[in-house]
Chain A
Amino acid sequence: MGRWLRDVWSGIATAFAGMRVTWKHLFTRAVTLQYPDERWTLPKRTRMRLFMKYEDCIGCGQCVRVCPVACIYMNTEKRPATAPPIWAANGMPIKLDVKLFDIDMSLCCYCNLCTYPCPTDCIYMTPEYEFATGDLTQHLYHFAKEDAQFLTVNPKAKPNA
């Protein structure tokens, strides 16, 4: 009988304890973010879509080799000796013409490994995350440009040399 009374009492008491918890949560603000209307403020170094600054690429191919899922495609040609010399933004001379630089974002695993070996820091990840498309081929981003404006002066060269 005592055990029975204790059980009944604990059943009622715990039900009320639970109701107290839910009553408390009834008046706390929802944590939901209404996505298309509101957006998260992402940290500056969020790793989302890959970007590559074509004007700075020297075509070394290290990013291609390091990529664990092989989502970067690159094709280079030796720059003819007659062509005017060009430089990357950090002063490295560009000796190869990058004819093709494609990144397939539907393969990319966002590991960020490709950005570390890049000698000119021209490939990096951006906080841009809304690039869903209805067509998978739209995820193949072409970075090679015909009309790229390369630096024709070495930016790191001493002014009077």
Chain B
Amino acid sequence: MDVFYALFPAAWPHWLRVVLGAAVPAIILVTFMALGPILYVYAERKISGFMQDRLGPMRVGPYGLLQTIADAIKLLFKEAIYPAGVDRALFLLAPCLVVIGAFLSFVVVPWGPNLIPADLDVGLFYVIAVSSLATVGLIMAGWASNNKYALFGAMRSAAQIVSYEIPAVLSLLAVVMIVGSLSLQQVVEAQRGGLPHWFLFRYFPIMLVVFLVFFIATLAECNRTPFDIPEAESELVAGYHTEYSGFFFAMFFMAEYTEMFIVSAVASVLFLGGWHSPLPPSWTAAIPWDLGPLWLLAKAWGLVFVHMWLRWTLPRLRVDQLMHVAWKVLLPIALGSTIVVGGLVLWPATSNGFPWDPFAAVAVSVAVAAGLVQGFIAARRYEARRLKEGAA
């Protein structure tokens, strides 16, 4: 990365600067990816607790902050058990493959104007290809475990990801047609100019629908509730990772949460302006330093929160319902919107969006914010009423 290359003094030999310029961002990213799940698991447990009127972890450290660290250490020290009849090589390879599949996508995510590990011309294509690698790992895990529940989980996950990849890719296609490039950096550049220029509000409301399709499909690809049938604990023990213990189980866990972050980051790059701030450019021009990574983090974490929010709201779908959603609902919508967006892009009068897009963007944002605030006020009122009834 050029930014890091320029950071090191010019007196140093060229090869050292190149190596360090590659190693430093790689180490930062890998550390962030490996330690991120500790934060996400804590956030998930806390959010689920609060949504169920509980406290969540409270005993380890202040407000339970050290709980997931303790869990991670516990998992590291636990024995890795190989059940009788497992295929050792595949059994070991599977979690590695899942983690690699989740981590590799970070290569093309842009964090700022110059902050991108590798600006591939086929960035989106690369993301799709690499994120499907995890599925191979899941099937491998299910097959190598020599366990019927693990195999059921693996088969379900294969069916699910094959189905949901299609609407996800079709909705990516809409963005690609607007930008005319597969490079994620160029997708972000095309959204310069604040909130009204986000692709979420382009051709309002068509791209909003496309975003919803993409969000639902990627949620399913992460195997998260309500699409968590591959590891449905009430049906399949734990699905594909039934037989895993110790560090290998931790790797599956890490991959799941990393993947959740990566699809959220990709969704914010494609639809929410990536590292651009939602504020008008004239407001942010005064800020001398580059806040791109923070904006991308904020957007991605916002979407991660929505993932968790959905998880603790919706019950799990049945297998037939899952297929129904993929093939009979998401696919027609994605196909239709792809055709419509393609036509609109080609028609010169609308190639830059509908005339009402900026107003719709502001109106939708204000409406969402108002809805959230109103829910917050309703929560305070509900609590006051509960306290009064409890006192009476």
Of B16-24, B239-247, B257-265, B372-380, the one contacting chain A is: B372-380
* Given A25-B52, A26-B51, A28-B53: A34 in contact with B309 (beta carbons within 8 A): no
Bound-state Cα–Cα, A26 to B379, Å: 8
Q: Is the CB of A30 within 8 A of B378?
A: no
* Given A19-B310, A29-B383, A34-B58: A8 in contact with B329 (beta carbons within 8 A): yes
- Decide if A131 is an interface residue (CB 8 Å cutoff): no
Bound-state Cα–Cα, A30 to B387, Å: 12
Which residues of the partner chain A approach B372 to less than 8 Å between Cβ atoms?
Answer: 23
- Decide if A15 is an interface residue (CB 8 Å cutoff): yes
Which residues, 17 to 35 on A, are CB-close (under 8 Å) to B?
Answer: 18-32, 34
Bound-state Cα–Cα, A19 to B312, Å: 9
Could you give, for residues 276-309 of chain B, a 1 whenever the CB lies within 8 Å of some chain A CB and a 0 otherwise? 0000000000000000000000000000000001
Chain A minimum-CB-distance residue to B386 = A28
Q: Is the CB of A15 within 8 A of B313?
A: yes
Bound-state Cα–Cα, A18 to B315, Å: 10
Chain A minimum-CB-distance residue to B50 = A26
Bound-state Cα–Cα, A30 to B379, Å: 12
Q: Is the CB of A32 within 8 A of B51?
A: no
Which residues of the partner chain A approach B52 to less than 8 Å between Cβ atoms?
Answer: 25
Bound-state Cα–Cα, A32 to B329, Å: 41
- Interface size of A in residues (CB-CB distance below 8 Å): 21
Which residues of the partner chain B approach A28 to less than 8 Å between Cβ atoms?
Answer: 53, 379, 382-383, 386
Bound-state Cα–Cα, A87 to B29, Å: 84
Chain A minimum-CB-distance residue to B324 = A7
* Residue from A18, A21, A27 within 8 A of B380 (CB atoms): A27
Bound-state Cα–Cα, A25 to B376, Å: 9
Chain B minimum-CB-distance residue to A14 = B314
Could you give, for residues 5-20 of chain B, a 1 whenever the CB lies within 8 Å of some chain A CB and a 0 otherwise? 0000000000000000
Chain B minimum-CB-distance residue to A34 = B58
* Residue from B55, B378, B380, B386 within 8 A of A32 (CB atoms): B55
* Residue from A8, A11, A25 within 8 A of B53 (CB atoms): A25
Bound-state Cα–Cα, A19 to B376, Å: 12
Q: Is the CB of A32 within 8 A of B313?
A: no
Residues on A lying within 8 angstroms of B by beta carbon are 4, 8, 11-12, 15, 18-32, 34
Task: Please list the 3 inter-chain residue pairs (A to B) with the smallest Cβ-Cβ separation, ordered nearest first.
Answer: A27-B379, A18-B313, A24-B379
Residues on B lying within 8 angstroms of A by beta carbon are 47, 49-55, 58, 212, 309-310, 312-314, 328-329, 333, 371-372, 375-376, 378-380, 382-383, 386
